[in-house]
Chain A
Amino acid sequence: MTSRRTPVAAEEPPGNEPPPGSIADTYREVMPLVSFDAAMTKGDDVALTIPLDAIHEVLERGRDDERLQMNLLRNQTAVDWEDRGLEIVYHLYSIPLRQAVTIKSWLPGEGAVVESVADLYAMADWAERECREMFGIEFIGHPDPRNLLLDEDIDIHPLRKSHPLAPIEMEQGVDVEFFTKQYPPPEPAEEEAPADTAAAAAPERKRVEDMTEEEREQRRAEQAERVARARELAAVRRAERLAGAPPAGGPRPEGAAPPPPPAAAPAAAPAAAEAAASSAPVQDDRPPAPPPPELPTIPDAEEDPEGRAAAQAERVRIGRELAAARRAQLRGD
């Protein structure tokens, strides 16, 4: 029986000590050679942190001793503290004496090995099987170390913090950055976006969340460049329209300055620029609308009823003229 304190436990902030006469003192009386780091939990239980190699003995003597009689192992689990390793937790209760205690111990993160207590408490059989598959802790002396809740062939440890959630939960969860910081993001599935061929063909689109500051700067510059190019293109198209050039698709006059070809734009151009580029030929079919004529204002009926009727008649006449002109345009006169 060693009485060493694990270095991890020493780094722990000192919890509030249990009051004198608590069950921690009873444990120290019964097992004076074991070091117990006692602390109170938020649920007013006494939590004792013990060395890893003392688990079996502490639980066995706690069960058999007259002063403790911890006959019910009510819960057994582990906590993954990442860099600090794993923490294995036993919640014990004494039905005759009505006292509860939590026994904890620190384990290394990888290759954790604990002595099984299934020979003391039959309940630990399933609890340790679950703990083994969920955290990857090996229990020495366990009678039946198979997977319990997971498939028997699966060798993953889902409750370790290094195990990512499934992508669907990542999308549904609010805090996506929390996961993408630690784990590689899922590869963008090509069949997910068949319609957006330009985006699918783009090589290795990186998520904005994963980019470094330099890459984000570069991305902003690229976007600005694309927008500028799209505006330039739109200006050229507008000039062609005003000059009476034939609509796009027809032969382009020799003298007119050819616009930059659309292929010059990067494949993954922003949607706005593409929309501007693609909608421009449609607008070419229609002649530019004439500037709206000045309409007479309608005076108030009580002040000037005659002027009001005249103004209304004038507005109707202008409207009819405009409509006639428009009809003539559409007919191709």
Chain B
Amino acid sequence: MVQQTFEGEVLTEPVVVEREFETVDMNINIGPQHPATHGVFRMVLTVDGEIVKDAIPYIGYMHRGGEKLSENLDYRGALGYQDRTDYLAAFNSEWVYVNAVERLAGIEIPERAEYIRLILAEFNRILSHFMFMGAFGTDVGYFGTAFTWTFKERERIQDLFEAVCGDRIMYNYFRVGGLAWEPHETFIEDSHWVLDQVEIGIGDVDELMTNNEVFVARCRDIGAMTADEAIAYGVTGPMLRASGVPFDLRVDEPYSIYDRFHWEIPVGERGDVYDRYLVRLEEMRQSVTILRQALDQMPTSGPIEPERMPARLRPEPGEIYMRQENPRGEYGIYMVSDGTDKPWRVKMRSPCFHNLSSLKPQVINTYLADAVVALGSIDIVLCEVDR
């Protein structure tokens, strides 16, 4: 390197002494009881200084054998386990399960029940994404602020759920064939009011986080995955869409009555943590759009369950893989019937299980602090990962 001064004097190249420092790799155990792991998740990181060289994730601390238990209960009895897999999106999980049983048994459900299910599930998507905003904001440095702001909005939605079904977390409100009971009289008005408030809340979160310099610096180009890489790992949901793949089961394999509404699929460009955040933020706004249309179209009266339902469900032998778009990705129920009143096989395909398996390529050769951010951007629910 030759430098020239203003006077034209040529300086000689500075002498650089290169010397290799010998470093020793160190294993760091994070979890299973650690606030940054969002549940009982454990990973053993091999670090070279601040750089992560290897990561071994350990899961299964929350494994309760929900599949085995569901196989030993009748078709209706196993519904409660769905609330306990993805507890942040319990309505969505319940919906997949009851849809699988209904398709397997050939049960038609009334239109009004379908609308109410969709409305509750979309509200639950907003609820779940608010939880992500709060927890992820805490990961990147908004200690308290993000949590309290988003929980204020979550309270409104949870109050609505409580008025509908009497519970705030474990709803158990959907039934095979319809709903447990009628929602309260002012359901539509309350929903509109909650939507108005929630829309303001989404704007608040947007203003708080999106353009914050520190937030962008912590999230940009962290944990980036290409589209092919994400697909190979079975990543679905907002993480896959952040990588630029417009794959949304509500559009690609339309189920229920999603073909009656108009909305857009937000897609990211770089596939990094910041895009995942942006995709989720935009998804909340799109959910509000869907909800407004659904609330306007919803029939105000009508049955919420079929006129005749068998006392004991005995679907004909057959199988179904029912999949729907949960807040975290593709939630699937693979159910096999052998003609008796119990399912022969129930497999829950949980999106977080596969999203989490892509953690290792994301964190290798990044800083240790960024590994925590990458983990937070997956939005894991360990109950759903372990089932």
Interface string of A218-246 (1 = CB under 8 A from B): 00000000000000000000000000000
Is B332 part of the contact surface with A, judged by Cβ < 8 Å? yes
Asked if B141 is at the interface (CB within 8 A of a chain A CB), the reply is no
Chain B residues with CB under 8 A of A75: 321, 323, 332, 334, 347, 349
Residue in chain B with minimal CB distance to A129: B357
In this assembly, does B65 line the interface, its C-beta being within 8 Å of a C-beta of chain A? yes
Q: Is B69 an interface residue (CB 8 A)?
A: yes
Q: Which residues 313-345 of B sit at the A interface, judged by CB distance below 8 A?
A: 315, 317-323, 330, 332, 334, 336, 344-345
Is there contact, CB below 8 Å, between B234 and A41? Answer: no
What's the interface size class on B, roughly?
A: 35 or more
B200 at interface, CB cutoff 8 A: no
Name the interface residues of B328-387: CB closer than 8 Å to any CB of A.
Answer: 330, 332, 334, 336, 344-345, 347, 349, 353-354, 357-358, 386-387
Mask for B59-76, Cβ within 8 A of A = 1, else 0?
Answer: 110010101110011000
Contact assessment for B234 and A73 in the assembled complex, using a CB-CB cutoff below 8 Å? yes
Is A89 among interface residues, defined by CB-CB distance under 8 A? yes
Expressed in whole angstroms, the Cα–Cα distance for A280 and B300 within the complex equals 70
Give A33 to B232 CA distance when docked, in angstroms. Answer: 27
Stretch at the interface among A23-31, A108-116, A118-126: A118-126
Alpha-carbon distance A79/B247, docked complex (angstroms): 28
Docked pose: A74 CA to B386 CA in angstroms: 17
Instruction: Please give me the residue from chain B that is nearest to A72 by CB atom.
Output: B231
A-B contact count (CB 8 A): 101
Q: Bound complex: CA of A45 vs CA of B323, how far in Å?
A: 12
* Chain A, range 82-122, C-beta contacts under 8 Å to B: 89, 91, 95, 98, 100, 102, 121-122
Q: What residues of A have a CB within 8 angstroms of the CB of B336 in the complex?
A: 79
B104 at interface (Cβ–Cβ under 8 A)? yes
Binding site for A on B (CB under 8 A): 59-60, 63, 65, 67-69, 72-73, 103-104, 106, 228-229, 231-234, 236, 245, 247, 252-253, 315, 317-323, 330, 332, 334, 336, 344-345, 347, 349, 353-354, 357-358, 386-387
Can you pick out 29 interface pairs between chain A and chain B where the beta carbons lie within 8 Å of each other? A42-B104, A42-B320, A43-B103, A43-B321, A43-B322, A71-B231, A71-B232, A72-B234, A72-B247, A74-B236, A75-B334, A75-B347, A75-B349, A77-B347, A77-B349, A79-B344, A91-B332, A95-B245, A95-B247, A121-B234, A123-B233, A123-B234, A125-B357, A126-B353, A127-B234, A149-B60, A151-B60, A159-B67, A165-B68
What 7 new A-B contacts, CB under 8 Å, besides A74-B323, A79-B344, A149-B387?
A: A98-B252, A121-B232, A122-B234, A123-B233, A148-B59, A148-B60, A149-B63
